Amino acid sequence: MRPSLKATGRARRRLLTNRASELTAALAAFGAVAVLAIVVIDVIQKAVPALNIDLFTQVQATFGESGGGIENAIVGSAIVVGVAAAAAIPIGVMVAIYVSEFAHEQVRRYVRLALDVLNGVPSIVIGIFAYGLLVTGSGQAAWKGSFALAVIMLPIVARTTIEILGLVPNALREASVALGVAKWRTVLFVILPTVRGGILTGSTLAVARAAGETAPLLFTTSIFLNSVVTDPRQAVDTLPFTIFVYSEAADTNLNQQAWAAAFILMAFVLVTSLSARFLLFRSERKIRGR
Amino acid sequence: MEASSLPAPERALDTRRRRDRYGDVALKWITGLAAAGSVGLIGLIIYKVVDGARPALSHIGISFLWGRTWDAVSNHFGALDFIFGTLYTTFWAVLIGGPISIAIGLFLSELAPRGVRGVIGSLVEMLAAIPSVVLGLWGILVLGPVVHDQFGPWLNTIFGWTPFFSSKPISGSSVFTAILVLTIMMTPITASISRDLFAQVPADIKEGAYGLGLTRWEMMRGVLLPYTRGGLISAVLLGGGRAVGEAIAVTQVIGATTHGLALNTFLTGDTLASRIAEQYQGATSFLQVGSLFFLGVILLVMSLVVNFTAQIIVRRYAIERAH
């Protein structure tokens, strides 16, 4: 009689355990994807009925009335995030240049640790920090919200730029020095142009992150006029703040607009972070390919 | 030698050299200043938050930590309920999200077919990109009613004998809803770190394990998990750090009223971060603002401890690996 090749006893139990564990892991992964799909589909479904031209061209309607829009929140978000990016991106890139081109090993490690710690500070704490530093005594303003957002963006820009600078082959630096080019020229005109893509990635990621932050804005730019404000010295409405307030409103009209605002914000954030991934992929390939 | 006594081409070279020397020094100092500034920023944050807490520190003192009331009318403030709320919600989020994240990491690095690996990995990371306020909106208007109508009664019927589900939820806003939202937020972070950890395990020891006849699960349990243990602990810690610090989404779904140190997850609650966020416009008295800053100090200390521990573990683990 030929012995059967079918696993029995211990071997069978091992195979079954293996199957079960593989299935569990796959379920976990698909669960996460399902949650993403559910959230995105819910937002789209509930936002579509509320999407109209008024949303982009009007400010909040007086209480109880239907209609109205969130134009001031869209404009305000653009201003707050724009000012924050204008401050955080250059400084973040400078930090990265110092860390990868000038600093000693020991200093390098401390700055990187500092950036990690900064990245781990809860955004609400950064909110009250900005409140204590800038708002107490002089009132709220859009640029004070930008300051808080810039604190959040700085470590993101710096860390991505440091990583991409680490990919630049040393031969490039050596070639430049061998030609008698000064270090500062090497850094600014040889190294930096090579990592343009990486810097763009870090900046895009940081903008995506900052655009969705609410906590730092609560204490810095939450009391504003119900009109379109473009002056960063005044407090402005923002998309995340509008969603935050409207989500808890008892008025279903405002709930609807919260969904519409969430849709706009989410579309912006997802599209920017997707393009950041694409940019990173392309620039890494470009640098490695050299 | 005087620069002016040189012939013209050499003089040009000399100015250029001098300019380059200044350029080098200037770039080094400007960028160094930015780096020093970002290190100093942490100091400034700590100083300003502690400074803001001074009224509460001098009036209430250290007993703020175990004070149980938060009453703006009689001006009595204490933090214990919120500290408990933060620890309790984070505990559950880590307990549920930790194993799920590690399982996702294993799936993405070992089990998923090559074609879908990148796609599913990116989708999991997209989950982390959803703004917390959007997740909170979804939590309050979609997840909340489901918790109230389905999960609540169901869990209460089956597990009503445990202290965790001892009543049916009164509304969709509850500690339970907050835990679910926090789990969704921490999972992608921990999952993508653990995937990267598993990918770093050298192929030869994995192949060695398969060569001995181990199944995939036995290889993962016997080789991957022990090999990456330190990194996994810090991955979970970093995810937990996110849960500790999350303010907005929790504020939207947790209900903003504490029930002391209740273990029942279907009651409303509050955390350090959400209490600060709720009072963004309500804080009027000097002492109340100081107390909010005091909550901020506690939150800052908690998240610094979590992050430092994670960093130290990663470093020690990296050194062990090097030997």
Q: What is the mean pLDDT of residues B122-138?
A: 92
pLDDT of residue B6: 66
Supply A62's token pair. Answer: 């007086």
Same domain, B101 and B40: no
Confidence label for B273 from pLDDT (cuts 50, 70 and 90): very high
In a 10 Å sphere around its CB, with 0-12 CB exposed, 13-18 middle and 19+ buried, how is residue A220 labelled? buried
Cα angle: B175, vertex B176, B180; to 5 degrees: 115
Q: What is the mean pLDDT of residues A146-160?
A: 94
What residues in B contact A129, CB-CB < 8 Å?
44-45, 48-49, 296
Q: What is the mean pLDDT of residues B59-84?
A: 85
Q: Looking at the domain that runs over A53-289, which CATH code has it been given?
A: 1.10.3720.10
Supply A37's token pair. Answer: 């799909």
Same domain, B304 and B186: yes
Confidence label for B8 from pLDDT (cuts 50, 70 and 90): confident
Same domain, B83 and B38: no
Q: Do B26 and A184 touch (CB under 8 A)?
A: yes
- B103 closest CB neighbour out of A24, A127, A262: A24
- In the block, residue with structure tokens 């700590």: B46
A36 touches B at CB < 8 Å: yes
Q: Assess if residue B27 is contained within a domain.
A: yes
Q: Which of B45, B124, B94 is nearest to B238 (CA)?
A: B94
pLDDT > 70 in chain B, percent: 96
CATH assignment of the domain containing B314: 1.10.3720.10
Q: Do B280 and A98 touch (CB under 8 A)?
A: no
- In the block, residue with structure tokens 């849709």: A263
Question: How close, in Å, is residue B320 to chain A by CA atoms?
Answer: 18
Q: Which of A113, A129, A45, A184 is nearest to B31 (CA)?
A: A184
Same domain, B147 and B87: yes
Determine which of A85-89, A110-114, B64-68, B293-297 has the lowest per-residue pLDDT on average: B64-68
Q: Do B220 and A21 touch (CB under 8 A)?
A: yes
Q: What is the mean pLDDT of residues B95-113?
A: 94
Q: What is the mean pLDDT of residues A214-236?
A: 85
- Using CA atoms, how far apart are residues B160 and B323, in angstroms rounded to an integer? 51
* CB-side neighbour CA atoms (13 Å) of B293: 28
Same domain, B167 and B286: yes
Q: Is pLDDT above 90 for A235?
A: no
Q: Do A258 and B137 touch (CB under 8 A)?
A: yes
Q: Express each pLDDT in A262-285 by its tens digit.
A: 999 999 999 998 888 888 778 777
A212 touches B at CB < 8 Å: yes
| B259: three-class secondary structure by DSSP | strand
Q: Express each pLDDT in B166-206 by its tens digit.
A: 888 888 889 999 999 999 999 999 999 999 999 889 999 99
- Using CA atoms, how far apart are residues A21 and A12, in angstroms rounded to an integer? 14
What residues in A contact B241, CB-CB < 8 Å?
120
Same domain, B67 and B45: no
Same domain, B17 and B160: no
Residues 153-192 of A with CB under 8 A from B: 154-155, 158, 182-185, 187-188
pLDDT > 90 in chain A, percent: 48
Q: Assess if residue B58 is contained within a domain.
A: no
Q: What is the mean pLDDT of residues B41-67?
A: 89
Q: Do A29 and B108 touch (CB under 8 A)?
A: yes
Chain A: residue nearest B296 by CA? A125
Same domain, B230 and B97: yes
For chain B, how many structural domains are there in total?
Answer: 2
Percent helix, strand, coil in chain B, to 5, is: 80, 0, 20
Confidence label for A207 from pLDDT (cuts 50, 70 and 90): very high
Which amino acid, one-letter code, is at B113?
P
Percent helix, strand, coil in chain A, to 5, is: 75, 0, 25
Same domain, B155 and B224: yes
| A69: three-class secondary structure by DSSP | coil
Q: Is pLDDT above 70 for A109?
A: yes
How far CA B32 is from CA of A97, A106, A194, B263, in Å, comes to 9, 14, 22, 50
- Using CA atoms, how far apart are residues A44 and A265, in angstroms rounded to an integer? 12
**Pair A267, A211: CB distance under 8 Å:** no
pLDDT of residue A279: 81
Confidence label for B71 from pLDDT (cuts 50, 70 and 90): confident
What residues in B contact A250, CB-CB < 8 Å?
none
- Using CA atoms, how far apart are residues A120 and A178, in angstroms rounded to an integer? 41
Domain boundaries, chain A: 53-289
| B261: three-class secondary structure by DSSP | strand
Q: Is pLDDT above 70 for B49?
A: yes
- Using CA atoms, how far apart are residues B261 and A166, in angstroms rounded to an integer? 49
User: B77 has which bridge partners?
Assistant: B70
How far CA A234 is from CA of A137, A139, A200, in Å, comes to 15, 9, 29
- Using CA atoms, how far apart are residues B225 and B106, in angstroms rounded to an integer? 9
Pairing of strands B76-77, B70-71: antiparallel
Q: Is pLDDT above 70 for B2?
A: no
pLDDT of residue A266: 93
| B132: three-class secondary structure by DSSP | helix
Q: What is the mean pLDDT of residues B299-314?
A: 89
Q: What is the mean pLDDT of residues A94-109?
A: 91
Helices then strands (H, E): number in chain B?
15, 2
Determine which of B7-16, B180-189, B225-234 has the lowest per-residue pLDDT on average: B7-16
Q: What is the mean pLDDT of residues A4-28?
A: 88
Q: Which of A26, A242, A129 is nearest to B52 (CA)?
A: A129
This model of the complex carries an ipTM of: 0.90
- Distance in Å from the first CA to the final CA of chain B: 56
Q: What is the mean pLDDT of residues A229-244?
A: 88
Q: Is pLDDT above 70 for B321?
A: no
Confidence label for A1 from pLDDT (cuts 50, 70 and 90): low
Q: What is the mean pLDDT of residues A164-182?
A: 89
pLDDT higher at B235 or B261: B235
Q: Is pLDDT above 80 for A98?
A: yes
Concatenated DSSP letters of B65-100: GG---EETTTTEE--HHHHHHHHHHHHHHHHHHHHH
Residues 106-145 of B with CB under 8 A from A: 106-108, 111-112, 120, 122-124, 126-127, 129-138, 140-142
Residues 239-258 of A with CB under 8 A from B: 240, 243-244, 247-248, 255, 258
- In this structure, how many other beta carbons lie within 10 angstroms of the beta carbon of residue A245? 17
Cα angle: B286, vertex B41, A100; to 5 degrees: 165
Q: What is the mean pLDDT of residues A102-126?
A: 90
**Pair A195, A168: CB distance under 8 Å:** yes
Give the total residue count for chain A. Answer: 290
Determine which of A224-238, B244-258, B300-314 has the lowest per-residue pLDDT on average: A224-238
pLDDT of residue B104: 96
* CB-side neighbour CA atoms (13 Å) of B291: 28
| A26: three-class secondary structure by DSSP | helix
Same domain, B210 and B231: yes
Q: Is pLDDT above 80 for A286?
A: no
Q: Do A215 and B248 touch (CB under 8 A)?
A: yes
* CB-side neighbour CA atoms (13 Å) of B252: 32
Domain of residue B195 covers: 63-322
Same domain, B209 and B317: yes
Q: What is the mean pLDDT of residues B119-125?
A: 90
Same domain, B168 and B19: no
Q: Which of B313, B312, B302 is nearest to B241 (CA)?
A: B302
pLDDT of residue B1: 45
